Amino acid sequence: MKVLMTGVAAAALAGAGLTFLPHFQMMGGAAAEAANEPASDRTLAEPPEGGEVAIAASEPVDLSATPLTVSLDGETVPHPVWHHLVMPGETIALASNLPLSIAMDGETLAQNSEMADWTAPDTPGTHRLVATDAAGRTVEVSVFVLAPLGEEEVLEGYRIGTYPADAPEGLIRLTEADMDAPISPNFTIGQFICKQQPGHWPKFLLVSPTMLIRVEALLAAMQAEGLTQAPSFFVMSGYRTPFYNTAIGSARFSRHMYGDAADIYPDVVGGDGVMDDLDGDGRITRADAEYLYDYAESLYTADPAMPEGGIGAYSANAVHGPFVHIDGRGHAARWGRNG
């Protein structure tokens, strides 16, 4: 079987509980089939074998023996599409296990090299790092040069407020033109902006890698099992400024203020901003949020490599439908699931 693997498909398999290896492994054949098996039959963290794989290269290459691993500042890039945050003037270091052609904003940084450095400019902004190996596999990273926060409570007219603890060093400064910058295989940065000041630009926000790893894995697993046709989750609430978090009466130390939480659900049917009928009873109720909660819980529990974090289930109210909160706080937290 020959499989032309897209980043989305690869992520779907990677997140299916089959692998969440700390590197990329393009899979085909038996591995792709295994992704459709019930969760209980999957082998965790075992590299797939066999299968002929072509990855948008001129010639098919059997890459199964040599996964491409890329790290930025010592952190493994977990998906072929990812993001990285850096303060102005700081240097980021890319390292790989294979020689790469590495470009930033279309300008070559290194060729046939397993490492490259890039020093961020002094001004905040969005940049695009693309690394390509000899087989044509790519790693694409949106690099956000952050706007220093300091003691400011307002940045360029955008109300930030005051962090109750652990104020971040800087925030992503997002212009309207960069809304579609990808931050993972199935999510763009624009999905996570705070709802305040809708017509105001630029906006400021954060996203965390652990939250995105968990949310991507959940989506990919549901896609692989045919539980949703959604190309992405609807992000009802992603980042919240401390200002906004206080205004809506949320938890004082909400992980949303750190870009480390997302209130999500699949919304294919109707595209109406309301969760789909996941449990198939013909209604959209709390039971659908609990279905998603339970699915996330069992998926994360089955994968020892999954970063720890929170899961919460919520009922509909006057202004929103049912949803599930996912965060990457670093330890397990569960709420909202009764019985």
**Pairing mode of beta strands 70-72, 75-76:** antiparallel
Candidate list 37, 153, 277, 308; residue touching Ca ion; CB under 5 A: 277
Q: Does the footprint of Ca ion cover residue 153 (CB under 5 A)?
A: no
Candidate list 30, 281, 301, 305; residue touching Ca ion; CB under 5 A: 281
Strands (E), 185-272: 187-188, 203-205, 234-237, 261-265
CA dihedral 310, 315, 321, 325 (to 10 degrees): 0
Site pattern 34..73 for Ca ion (x: CB under 5 A): ----------------------------------------
Verify cis geometry, omega within 30 degrees of 0, for the bond prior to 124: no
Number of residues that bind Ca ion (CB under 5 A): 5
8 Å CB contact between 229 and 195: no
Stretch that binds Ca ion, among 22-30, 64-72, 270-278, 302-310 (CB under 5 A): 270-278
Our CB check for Ca ion shows the closer of 288 and 327 to be 288
Candidate list 279, 294, 297, 308; residue touching Ca ion; CB under 5 A: 279
Our CB check for Ca ion shows the closer of 279 and 308 to be 279
Cα separation, 3 vs 60, in Å, equals: 10
| Six token digits for residue 22 | 């700390």
Task: In angstroms, give the least distance from the CB of 112 to Ca ion.
Answer: 54
Our CB check for Ca ion shows the closer of 290 and 303 to be 290
8 Å CB contact between 26 and 18: no
Cα separation, 12 vs 134, in Å, equals: 24
Candidate list 288, 290, 303, 327; residue touching Ca ion; CB under 5 A: 288
Task: In angstroms, give the least distance from the CB of 266 to Ca ion.
Answer: 12
Q: Does the footprint of Ca ion cover residue 294 (CB under 5 A)?
A: no
Cα separation, 21 vs 325, in Å, equals: 24
**Which residues sit at the interface with Ca ion, rule CB under 5 A?**
277, 279, 281, 283, 288
